[in-house]
Amino acid sequence: MSWPILAVAVLSETDIVIARQRARRIAELLGFERQDQTRIATSVSEIARNAFGYGGGGRVEFVLDKKRSPQELLIRISDKGKGIEDLDAVLEGRYRSESGMGLGIVGARRLVDRFEIESSPGAGTRVVLAKALPRRAPGISQKQLGDIAAQLAKEATGEPLATIREQNLELMRTLAELQARQDELAKINRELEDTNRGVVALYAELDEKAEQLRQASELKSRFLSNISHEFRTPLNSILALSRLLLDQVDGELTEEQHRQVGYIRKSAQGLSELVNDLLDLAKVEAGKIDVRPVTFTVEELFGSLRGALKPLQTSPAVELVFEEPVGLPILVTDEAKVVQVLRNFISNALKFTEAGEVRVSASFNRARQCVTFAVRDTGIGIAPEHKSYIFEEFSQIENRLQSRAKGTGLGLPLSKKLAELLGGEVHLESSPGLGSTFTLTIPARFGVAGGQGSGPEGPGGRPRVLVIDDEEAFRYVMRQLIGHSYDVLEAIDGMDGLQKARDSRPDVIFLDLRMPKLDGYALLKELAADPATRDIVVIVSTSSEVGPEQLLRLSRTHAILSKDSLSRESISSLLREVTAARGAL
């Protein structure tokens, strides 16, 4: 439903000015802000000028569209000229005329909310300009619109020169506003430059601190490794000698002596366990501990654990139960490390369970190709605020069983790191008084991703990047650029890279083109031919020129980067894009 407001015949240059004046005044009376008044007046002026110049004259009608919400001011401008021959070229901005008709239509189109145009040879042109009334303004009733029309009828149209002066004032105001905005942008740019300099300095300081922390961590790991080895020799001697004394090889001991030597041996065993945990922890943190996959079954694993942990089951009120494994595959991973993690879980559960049971089970997720081991107990439980705390080194929670359950506070942190080393993770569910459940989830086959079609994640769940390049210096640069956020594997030639791509299934490969044994082009072909590696994202990094023929051979790659233009920002941005698309972040 549309209500008419006013109509203006465009038969002369003066009528164009009148149409502009009326457009501005109607917009003002309908509650439009000054900028929108200018936009509406300018768009009407441009189309009315076309109607007079190309159509020999026309008509401008102002109406209010009541059926839309919010209401719209509609301006219909029509002429009976020869029409526009190439309307599509005009609307796409490709048409240019000496008088600027195309620019007028395109400009008017940008100044309104809705723009419609119909034109055909010999039938003239009809243009509809629509601008929604401000949402803050109340709706216009038919009576109010009648009052507006009556007021417009009373008002005389201004002289053309007055209109030109008004336009000049509008232009000056607009230029002043633009200058003010330009000054504000310049100020903001200066502030941003200052901020950027501060951020750059901060990043430099953070990089320096990170390097200091890394060196401190390496120093700590070397210290722990060296001192642990130094401790082992005398401890082994103490354990061996105490064993000889307890076995009474060189003569009988009195009851009191037997008790004292027993205390010596027990203390030495506790110290030996601490040294072993420290050494393992230092090896993991230093990256010097190897994963040695072997083939075994969960039945065999549970059997060895049952026998090894039976001596720890000292309370008749607590039963250690191993559930029968059902539907589990043969595992290919480091059995000793799996045993070490589960031993820690089970021994802790036995320590902090006064009555009930400790139940050990295993399940298989076929979709992810992962096995989950669970150790559930009916012990004292752990408060929510302490759940992350127990995985920190040397951390122990005070509780009423602490006196009988002494420990080093290294077992769970070490278990977490060993799980990550195996490509898995540990998880805890617990409530005070309701027991705890510790779980270990690892790939059934070490180095094979959990889940079809997705690359494995490194320790801590970080995406894995394989750098295949025979230049050691470039591999070092890549480690420095991305090693803080990604796990970086390296291959020294094409054959080595192909094998590591098949074994580790990384998320992304950075590939050099010129390498010994197997060049980058041949390696790409091998990766594409193998179902296990064809979906890995490959980014070529080269210092050679890549011509059209080479580009055709590299069409399957994600990107081609020049080695002399690499930066941490560009590499990180590209990797975030790739890993986000693969669901790795």
What pLDDT does 216 receive?
Answer: 74
* DSSP β-bridge partners for residue 7: 61
What's the pLDDT at 178?
Answer: 75
CATH code of 525's domain: 3.40.50.2300
> Total domain count for the chain?
4
Whether residue 405 is predicted with pLDDT greater than 60 in this model: the reply is no
pLDDT at residue 585, as a whole number: 41
Across 239-257, average pLDDT: 82
Please report whether residue 67 resides in a domain. Answer: yes
In the prediction, which pLDDT does 366 show? Answer: 86
**Residue 525 domain boundaries:** 459-581
pLDDT tops 60 at residue 327 = yes
Is the domain of 353 the same as that of 414? yes
On whether the CB atoms of residues 75 and 23 are closer than 8 A, the answer is yes
CB atoms within 10 A of CB 385: 8
| pLDDT average, residue stretch 119-123 | 83
Model pLDDT, residue 160? 59
Q: Residue 233: pLDDT above 70?
A: no
Tokens linked to 429: 């569910």
Structure tokens at 404: 């009988």
Of 118-122, 200-204, 407-411, 514-518, the one with minimum mean pLDDT is 407-411
322 and 277, same structural domain?
A: no
How much is the pLDDT for 64? 92
Higher model confidence: residue 92 or residue 75? Answer: 75
Say which residue, 322 or 221, is predicted with more confidence.
Answer: 322
Residue position matching structure tokens 């802790």: 348
- Write the CATH number for 350: 3.30.565.10
Q: Which of 91-95, 119-123, 131-135, 489-493 has the lowest mean pLDDT?
A: 91-95
Helix (H, G, I), strand (E, B) or coil at 324: coil
CA 545 vs CA 233, 510, 556, 560: distances in Å: 59, 17, 18, 11
Chain centroid to Cα 403, Å, comes to 45
20: pLDDT strictly greater than 50:
yes
Are both 414 and 465 inside the same structural domain?
A: no
- Which of these three, 272, 289, 306, is where a domain ends? 289
In this prediction, residue 97 carries a pLDDT of 63
Q: pLDDT: is 357 or 198 the higher one?
A: 357
Same domain, 237 and 300: no
Percent of the chain with pLDDT strictly greater than 70: 81
Confidence of residue 364 (pLDDT cuts 50, 70, 90): very high
Confidence of residue 188 (pLDDT cuts 50, 70, 90): confident
The mean pLDDT of 110-116, rounded to a whole number, is 91
Residue 166 in any domain: the answer is: no
Residues 366, 488, single domain; the answer is no
CA distance 378 to 358: 7
Evaluate if residue 492 carries a pLDDT over 60.
yes
**pLDDT for 361:** 94
Structural domain includes residue 491: yes
pLDDT at 580: 67
Query: pLDDT grade, residue 226 (50/70/90)?
Result: low
Which of 389, 412, 443 delimits the end of a domain? 443
HEC per residue, 75-88:
EEEEECCCCCCCHH
| Residue 11 within any structural domain of the chain | yes
CA distance 230 to 72: 87
Instruction: Answer yes or no: do 511 and 551 share one domain.
Output: yes
Q: Looking at residues 180-194, what average pLDDT do you find? A: 82
DSSP assignment of 391-411: GSTT-----TTTTTS---S-H
Q: Is residue 265 part of a domain?
A: yes
CA gap 450, 422 in Å, rounded: 12
Report whether pLDDT(384) > 90.
Answer: no
